[in-house]
Structure formats: structure tokens, C-alpha cells
Structure 1
Amino acid sequence: MDRALRDVPAQAGSLLASLPAALAGDGPAVRALDADGPGAPPGAGARVPADVAVVVRTSGSTGRPRDVMLTADALRASAEATARRLGGHGSWLLALPVHHVAGLQVVVRALLAGRDLTTLAPGPFRPAGFTDAVRALRTGDGPYYTSLVPTQLVRVLDDADAVAAARSLDAVLVGGAAASPTLLARAREAGVRVVTTYGMTESCGGCVYDGQPLDGVDVAVDAEQRVWLAGPVLAAGYLGRPDLDATTFVDVRGRRWLRTADRGRLDDGLLHVLGRLDDVLVTGGVKVDPLAVEEVVAAHPLVREVCVVGVPDQHWGQSVVAVVVTEGGAQPSLVELRSSVAAVLGPASAPRQVLVVDALPLRGPGKPDRRAVARTATERMNHHPPGPATP
């Protein structure tokens, strides 16, 4: 059996109006589409398997839209496991777009908890708007939760009133992109109860909290450091893409696993995500982990955000470039940053250029768009190329 798929605007109100029936199986499955996103694919208005409640559009890293089918059971399993990990069902502040899985899950959690959903005022994320929304949230019953991406957390921590508001929450989930240890330490020192999350649309969003899998979720890392996930939170598959289903959802000894594109390691059962498999840079024949370089650069007192990319280089193949957002647009010392990175990771990982920008281009709910960052870095480097240097 199957059911209809209905497209709704990517607004909390529209989703809340359709989601209860979709989860209960009494109405069509829903897909929240961003008005500024890609149009409906061929076959829009198609039908989906009867157990599918929500379809989430994701472009992934390729830029080609994919429609991920999430069942009602998977969404409930994720929401219930989150409630158990955080200390009970609570009231949620929606600060993320609902056409991405992190925002969708905030709506699902509030709905299953039987709580009213508090939302930010329309428009760009502003610390003052966050502060006002937290005040409104706290007029209801606790515990109180929200979910942010790292760029939003940076803005919160730069505003004293927003920090006080965040400190009043029982948990602030941080995911969607890697949060540097420096940013997390800064938040915790400010008294904000941050919980890091790892997951993707295909796992109903975050399914590993602070390195520990949620109840029912299993994590494995293979010989090439690829992360694999299993459990009741996995998606049913991709709408109209059996080719992707066959390579992404793999049966291993009778159990269905999600084959991710991420690198990681397990230490005493804790997952440490090391970045994407295809993000590794090669400079002078040496592999460089951009996420590891970002962690060192992010510790610089002037740096607020950083994305490390490779730029084509006639001497080294790829030149390691750190693109940063800094306090007041200040220019960090290249010599100082190269020395810091080299001391921790070796000279090959040291950036050959540090470029200051007003903001990092983003994709999805808050991931740095590495392709766009690399294009910006390449254009800037072509105009002001550095001279050859020894590793």
C-alpha cells in the first residue's frame, strides 16, 4: 500500500497543521519545501510507501536534490530517545528552518510532547530575537530546549543578554556542522548546557549525542574510518532513487546499516567525527585533515568561525587556506597561525594563507559551504598569490 505526498510551505504553522495526520497515518505524507529552494522534482505529487510520514529535501554535498523518506516510527523513535537522553519531554524553541531535518525534529518533539511550539520571529537569526523567544518559551512548562547550529551559537555567545537566555535552558543541542572545541568550551564556561549532536537526514537528524549513540542506535567505524549507523531511526530510503538506496542502506549479516560519507573513530564507545571522507586535502603528497586544522585555528582569540579548504597550487597540488570570520574583521598573524598548526599537526597542515571574510557561505541549516568557500579562496588567491614556501 502507499499514500499521497503533499507539499506544504516551509513554515512551522503549515507543518504543524499537516504533521499530526501524517504521523497518525490518517492523512497524506508531507514534504516542506523552501520557496527559495529547488523546484519540485519530476514526479512531484507522487505517492510514497504507507509508513512514510515525512519527506525531507536535501541537496547533500553534490547540489543535486534528494528526497529522504522518513517513517512515523523512525521519527517517534528519534524523538523518544532524545527525550530519554535529555531528561524528559519538554518545551522547544524552534530556531532552525523546518525544511531541514533538525528543524523538523524540533516540531515533531514538541508535537509528541503535547507542548505548544515557540518560534523565533521571521528573518535572520539575531541575538535579541533569540532572547525574546526564550522568555516566551519559559512562560510554559519545562524542561526547556532548543537546537542551534554553530554559527547561531557564536552569535548568542557574543551577546550578554542572549547568553543569559541560553543559560536558562535545560539543553541547547548543537549540530548541523562541526562545532569547534573552542566554541563548545566557551559556551560551557558561560554556563550554557550544550549537547553536541551527530546525524543526518537519513538518520532522522541527530542520533549520537556528545559522542554516545541514542538508545537503540549502533555505531561502527570500518578500516577506512567510515562511520556506519544502524537502528530504528534510519530512513526508509530515497524517493524515486533505488540506485542511492542500494549504495547507502546496506544489509550486513541481516541488519540494515546506513553507510555515511563521514570519517570517525571510536574511543571506548564514544564516536569522534573527523570530517567527511571527501574533504581530506593533499598538499605536497601529504594528507591534511581540514577539520583538525580548523580546531587549531579556531582557538586563536580573534577567530570566530573558520573553514579550511584546498586551493589549486602549482607547487604543492593543493595549498591549505584558512578562511576566517574574525572579531571586528581583524587580520590574524599568518606566521602565528602557521606556527600553532605546525606544532600540533605538523608543517604540511599549516595554512599558507589566511583570508578574512565577513561571513562564511552556508548550505543547509548551517554547514559551511566548502565548495563556495574554496571558490572564494581561489579567486582571492589568484588576485594575490603567495610565493612558494617550504612545508
Structure 2
Amino acid sequence: MRLERLDSDDPRDVLRALRTALGAGPAIALGAGERELPAEVPAGTAVVVTTSGSSGVPKSVMLSRSALTSSALATAARIGAGQWLLPLAGGYIAGVQVLVRSLVQGTEPAILSGRFSAAAFAHVVSGMHSSRGGERVPTYTSLVPAQLQTLVDAADEDPGVRRALASFETILVGGQALPQPMRERAEAHGARIVRTYGSSETAGGCVYDGVPLDGVRVVAVDGELRVAGPTLADGYLGDPGLTERVFVRDADGVRWYRTGDAGVVEDGVVRVTGRIDNVIVSGGVNVSLDRVERVVRELPPVPGAFTLADAVVVGASDERWGETPVLVARRADVGSPDAALSAARAAVGAQVGKPARPSRILLVDALPRLASGKPDRVALRRLAAAG
């Protein structure tokens, strides 16, 4: 199967390419940037999504037509079918799935392009008045928590945003943890929220409010969540070794995706407790704290202001973004906390990306360390959580 690179994440461009990819092909590659990809992919592949993944290193996930459409059909079976609004970039799996659901259901998606704002959201929603056979067609959308936060904040004062939130049959929210207070505020404005869990490797959200979609199985093995079912990716393009390590088969021949997430499954309900590796999800984007730390430590010292060669970066909960990096440094090394944080944010934003920028700096008299001499990151995360 021929693979064509799509260098645009404009949802309209992605939608046009998906119409062909879900049919006779060719397959499309999204989010690849400058990464070199093969010209051919295995038969049946529809989309290759390049993602930073849990390691912060780009991985190109191969998704078949079957996996994408299975996910779309399972979503419709769980929450219903209707018209979808896409307020997300089309180059990420959440955006791709909104478009796939629309194509499978034979509806035209509404699209919010450009910078996301509560006013723009309410304007697009006001035009979503479609009917079929004289009956109103239900509407749906998919958001990340930071977008929901923007809408909830605006809805406190703007009745138009409140009406927009309440107009959807279901609002899927995924990409990172959804703080319960935010969900409660949204629901107080009439929003019907469903929290989703999944990844590119599972063709998007595959667990809704803790319950796997029909056909999806989730288990915890040695504390790590694993997923099986028809929505699984075929593997990583050009990386059979990684594919073999991440997609494994059990004694019965069932194929499982090792998520890298820590969690438990109790009475059929999935609960995610964190990441096994040193990665956080900030604003729906995977951020490798190791990469952030390397950039920070390489900053040239500024006499009298800071030296960050011994600094540590940990993740901490954030009401708006889910999690953000926090810079921890010795008080003796930092004469000007504002200057240190500003320099770190600028360097990290340029080299890793805006979602990876440290949100604040925490000064300590001494960095807690393990017997090995390495920083005690568990203790540092506790300090960061305590503010």
C-alpha cells in the first residue's frame, strides 16, 4: 500500500485524505514533520500517526481501516450517532477519530479552525442545527481538558457559551486527566461529559468513564494496564523491535498493547494511576521530563542570577493543563527565581515545545537523593505537589 505524507493538520485537508484512505487508498501519514518514512506500508493500513509517545521520542503508529472504523462504531454504540464538531487539530488521533466517526455515520462534521476560544466555539455550535426525517440530529464533540476549562470559565458569565455546552448529547474529554471539580462545573452548566482513555495505539479513546468499549478488554499486569481488541494499531512503522516489545501475545494468542500506564481494573472499571515512565501529559501532549531536564541543565549559568546544572524537573498536577513540569533547584544556586524560570521556559519552549515549559520553580535547601546519589524524584514530586 502506498503511503502519502500529509503535511497539513487542517481538518478539512485531513477529511479529504481520509475519505480516500478508508477506501481504496493510498494511506496517509500525519504529524511526521521532517521524519523520513517508507513509501509503502502493509496492506490494510489507512493512517500512520507520528506521535511523541510515552517516551517523548517520535513513533509512527500504523492504524488499519478496520481499527479506525471499529473504534468509530463502538463509540456510536456507546453514546449514539449524530453530527460531530471538531475543535481539535486533524493531525492527532482524537481529531482523526472525530472525522472517521463522521465518515462512518455519513454526516458532515462541523469544524472549528484557527485559535480556540469560547466565542468561536459558541459561534460554530450555533450553526449546528441539522435534522433527519423531521427529527433533530444529536450533536457530539471531543475536547481536551484545557479547552473545557476555557469554556467553563466563559460559561460562568456568558449564556451563549452555556447554551453551547448544554446543546451536545455528549462531550468526550480525553488526552489527559480530567479534574473532578472541572467536570462538576461543566455539568452544572448542563454539559454531558464522558471522560475517555486511550492513545494512538488504540485508535483513540477506548475506555469511556472507566468502562471499555464493546470488544475492548483491559487488564493490569504487574501494575501496568494492557489493552486488547479490534481497535489496536498494527504496530510502529519501520520499528519491528519496538512493535514486538509493546504489542505482545499471551499464552492464548491474544494480542495486547502495553500502555506504559500504571493502573488497576476493579469490577470491570479501569482506573489510571499514573505513568510508569517519566512522562507527563500536559494539555493533551506527552512531555518527556527527561528531555525538559536536559534542556534546563544545559542552560549557561548567569552570574548572580542562576545556575541550573543540578536542577531536577518533575511533574505536578495542574487544574488547567492536567500536569505541568516543575523546576526544582537548590536555593543556593538561584539568586533570581524569576530570571531562572524565564530562561528555562524560553529554552524548553524553543527546543521541546510550549506544553513542556516549566510552570513554576521550586527552591529547596538541598535536593533529596537516593543512596545511589540520584535525585529522589518521588520525594521531589511530593514537594512539588505540596507547593
The answer to whether the superposition gives a TM-score over 0.5 is yes
The alpha-carbon distance between structure 1 residues 236 and 305, as it changes in their structure 2 partners (threshold 3 A), is closer
State how 1:1-391 maps to structure 2 within 5 Å. 3-8=1-6, 9-24=8-23, 26-33=24-31, 38-39=33-34, 41-44=35-38, 46-87=39-80, 89-120=81-112, 122-140=113-131, 141-160=136-155, 161-223=160-222, 225-253=223-251, 254-279=253-278, 294=317, 298=319, 304-305=320-321, 307=323, 309=325, 311-312=327-328, 369=355, 371-373=356-358, 377=360, 380-381=361-362, 385-387=363-365
Alpha-carbon shift at residue 14 of structure 1 (Å): 1.8
CA distance in 2 between counterparts of 1:209 and 1:306 reads: 18
CA distance in 2, matches of 1:278, 1:310: 17
Deviations 1:62-103 (A, max 9, x none): 33321111000111110000000002x210000111110000
Q: Secondary structure at the match of 1:192?
A: coil
Distance 1:214 1:42 in 2: 34
The alpha-carbon distance between structure 1 residues 242 and 305, as it changes in their structure 2 partners (threshold 3 A), is: closer
Percent identical pairs in the alignment equals 39
Q: How many residues align?
A: 312
Q: Which amino acid aligns with 2:72?
A: A
Q: Give the AA of the match of 2:323.
A: C
Q: Tell me by how many angstroms 1:51 deviates.
A: 0.7
Task: For residue 310 of structure 1, report the CA deviation from its aligned partner.
Answer: 5.9
Stretch deviating more after TM superposition (304-313 or 213-222): 304-313
Structure 1 Cα separation of the partners of residues 269 and 94 of structure 2: 22
For normalisation by structure 2, the TM-score amounts to 0.73
TM-score (norm 1): 0.73
Deviation at 1:312, TM superposition (A): 4.8
Structure 1 position 7, deviation (Å)? 1.5
The alpha-carbon deviation at position 21 of structure 1 amounts to: 2.4
Deviations 1:281-319 (A, max 9, x none): 9xxxxxxxx88x73xx74xxxxx556365655669xxxx
Compute the displacement of 1:256 (Å): 0.3
The root-mean-square deviation of aligned C-alpha atoms, in Å, is: 3.1
Q: Which amino acid aligns with 2:53?
A: G
Gaps spanning 5+ residues in structure 1: where? 282-289, 299-303, 316-356
Unaligned runs of 5+ residues in structure 2 are 281-313, 332-344, 369-382
1:131 Cα offset (Å): 0.3
1:242-284 C-alpha deviation (Å, 9 max, x unpaired): 0110111001121000001111112211111112112499xxx
Partners of 2:324 and 2:12 in 1: how far apart?
A: 38
